[in-house]
Amino acid sequence: MNFESFNLHPSIISGVRELGYVTPTPIQLQAIPPILQGQDLVGLAQTGTGKTAAFVLPILQRLSQGPRGCVRALIIAPTRELAEQIHDTTQGLGKQTRLRSVTVYGGVNMTPQIQKLRGKAEIVVACPGRLLDHIRQKTVNLSHIEVLVLDEADRMFDMGFLPDIRKILNHLPAHRQTLLFSATMPDDIKRLAHDILRNPVTVQINHTMPLTTVSHALYPVEHHHKSTLLMRLLKHADTGSVLVFTRTKQRAMSVAQRLKKAGYIATSLQGNMSQNQRQAALDGFRKGSFKILVATDIAARGIDVSHISHVINFDMPDTVDAYTHRIGRTGRAAKTGDAFTLTTQNDNAMVRAIENTLGMKLERRRLEDFDYTSPPARSTHAVPLQQSQRHHRRTGTGSKRAGSQMSSDSKPRYPRTGAKPFGKRRSSHAAYSSGSSARKPHSSHN
Ligand code: AMP
């Protein structure tokens, strides 16, 4: 089954290709056909399942016919980060459709939003509070809405947004398609669904990709030791393809340079590159001619390389969602993967937020033979990747693992975690086969 079988408009299919999606995920397979038929839908799925494209693609299909210049689809999300992600996906998938989407959330000046809304977008991605402000000030016209999406409804409930949502509903046409996505179904969400959906189809994807197929580990380290530690992780790790994330474009470039100098077959993927350079980097990584890709979050969006064995967060991401997305790059398609994060003391709050979301403590690791006390600007001791791979080639059932050469910290700077030993948390479950829901903390406000 591929995206062509949904009979989407060619301009939309070109967006799908551009984002590098090849095979629809289970939520996309199940949700896209009924949404295309105009049915209401409850999607029990969480971040990492591809749920965004599951509703964005049919919306683009519907909106590519009919009037332009009025708001016809409204997507409500709990946080500005999620709103931006949905907007990015909409822009990426809808690039050739010339449909326009704007984001509306609090904490920023209203005027640019008003200007953009006046610019007549067809899709609005909004957080509830700020959207209500626009409704009250009559700076948004929702009378032409054909599709309403409530994304991460349970999280909106947790954050106390249900009353706002009910107020917003009063300003929408009664005749519309409504789609509700939620990782869990608390009673209040069930009631809301019952009140606002008409004969909905329910699709359920029981999986939490990061938990079922990915082993997570943190490597606490001083900032100036990060490069050396990265080299050591690569040296020890039983690596296939490695995706390294940095916070900035400059850091992506410099880390890739350093890796290349040390003999690794690495490249970077960041926003300063031309489209051709980006494509060459991606193609090379996909084919395996680059073993390591150093990327920023934005640049890495949509990368689907089934053989990524390790995601290494050189820098901690800014949000829990970004962590989940990064980690979702490994462990895809029923494969297992490792997610290493280099953390400094500045990252402690984000570590706690991630642990809350995943509902488990992450294992802290220390390399036994690594000098954590050396002063800055020490040289690295890299071993070319191919050489290390010869040393640590996977064998049949048991693979020699990064963890086998490292020990958990016997005198950790952090409390012991109680997490299961690294290798044992690994699951052979298919990526989409089992799940528990993890609630997210209030990472940002409306
Ligand atoms: P979501 O659950 O919508 O937040 O998506 C999680 C990640 O999967 C995002 O980075 C998407 O770009 C990516 N993604 C969504 N659908 C697909 C697909 N069919 N193939 C590959 N990647 C996908």
Comparison of pLDDT for 269 and 47, the residue scoring more: 269
Indicate whether 11 pLDDT > 80. Answer: yes
Indicate whether 246 pLDDT > 60. Answer: yes
Ligand 1, residue 21: give the atom nearest the CA.
20
Q: How far is CA 343 from the centre of its chain?
A: 19
Considering the domain boundaries, does residue 237 fall inside one? Answer: yes
Considering the domain boundaries, does residue 407 fall inside one? Answer: no
230 and 159 in a common domain: no
Percent of the chain exceeding pLDDT 90 equals 48
Indicate whether 152 pLDDT > 70. Answer: yes
83 and 225 in a common domain: no
229 and 196 in a common domain: no
From 157, 179, 205, give the residue that closes a domain. Answer: 205
Considering the domain boundaries, does residue 371 fall inside one? Answer: yes
Most confident of the following: 11-20, 287-296, 357-366: 11-20
Tell me which of 28, 52, 81, 152 to substitute to probe ligand 1's pocket, judged by most ligand atoms within 8 Å of the beta carbon.
52
426 Cβ closer than 6 Å to some ligand 1 atom: no
Considering the domain boundaries, does residue 412 fall inside one? Answer: no
311 and 185 in a common domain: no
Q: What is the mean pLDDT of the chain?
A: 79
From 84, 74, 89, select the one nearest 105 (Cα to Cα): 84
107 and 187 in a common domain: yes
226 and 197 in a common domain: no
Angle between helices 110-118 and 128-136 (to 10 degrees): 70
Opening angle at CA 144, ends 141 and 145, nearest 5: 95
Convert the pLDDT of each residue in 322-380 to its tens digit. Answer: 787 777 666 543 455 688 999 999 999 999 988 887 777 888 999 888 889 888 764 44
27 and 175 in a common domain: yes
Indicate whether 182 pLDDT > 50. Answer: yes
306 pLDDT tier (thresholds 50, 70, 90): low
Residue-level pLDDT at 378: 47
CATH number at residue 247: 3.40.50.300
Which residue puts its alpha carbon closest to atom 18 of ligand 1? 21
Largest CA distance in the chain: 67
From 353, 370, 394, give the residue that closes a domain. Answer: 394
pTM: 0.56
28 and 157 in a common domain: yes
318 pLDDT tier (thresholds 50, 70, 90): confident
97 pLDDT tier (thresholds 50, 70, 90): very high
Considering the domain boundaries, does residue 48 fall inside one? Answer: yes
Convert the pLDDT of each residue in 252-266 to its tens digit. Answer: 999 999 999 999 999
Which whole number is the average pLDDT over 142-160? 92
Indicate whether 420 pLDDT > 70. Answer: no
Contact 45, 32 (CB under 8 A): no
Residue-level pLDDT at 155: 82
197 and 225 in a common domain: no
328 Cβ closer than 6 Å to some ligand 1 atom: yes
Indicate whether 435 pLDDT > 60. Answer: no
Considering the domain boundaries, does residue 189 fall inside one? Answer: yes
Residue-level pLDDT at 367: 87
Most confident of the following: 46-60, 277-291, 370-384, 388-402: 46-60
Residue-level pLDDT at 1: 76
Residues paired with 204 in a beta bridge: 44
From 185, 205, 225, give the residue that closes a domain. Answer: 205
Count the domains in the chain.
2
Indicate whether 314 pLDDT > 90. Answer: yes
Range(s) of the domain holding residue 106: 3-205
161 and 17 in a common domain: yes
Contact 4, 59 (CB under 8 A): no
Considering the domain boundaries, does residue 426 fall inside one? Answer: no
324 Cβ closer than 6 Å to some ligand 1 atom: no
Least trusted range by pLDDT, from 120-129, 232-241, 307-316, 390-399 = 390-399
Residue-level pLDDT at 328: 66
Indicate whether 393 pLDDT > 60. Answer: no
Residues 6+ apart with CB under 8 A from 131: 76, 104, 124, 140, 164, 168
Indicate whether 111 pLDDT > 90. Answer: yes
Residue-level pLDDT at 186: 83
Residue-level pLDDT at 22: 87
- Distance, CA 18 to ligand 1 centroid (Å)? 13
- Distance, CA 249 to ligand 1 centroid (Å)? 22
Both tokens of 68, joined, read: 């332009």
Residues paired with 342 in a beta bridge: 219
273 pLDDT tier (thresholds 50, 70, 90): confident
Residue 107 Rama label (left phi>0; alpha psi -120 to 50; beta): left
Residue-level pLDDT at 310: 84
Bridging pattern class, strands 241-245 and 214-220: unpaired
Indicate whether 224 pLDDT > 60. Answer: yes
Residue-level pLDDT at 86: 93
141 pLDDT tier (thresholds 50, 70, 90): very high
Indicate whether 49 pLDDT > 90. Answer: no
Q: How far is CA 134 from the centre of its chain?
A: 29
- Distance, CA 54 to ligand 1 centroid (Å)? 9
242 and 103 in a common domain: no
Considering the domain boundaries, does residue 312 fall inside one? Answer: yes
Which whole number is the average pLDDT over 392-411? 29
Residue-level pLDDT at 413: 25
381 and 264 in a common domain: yes
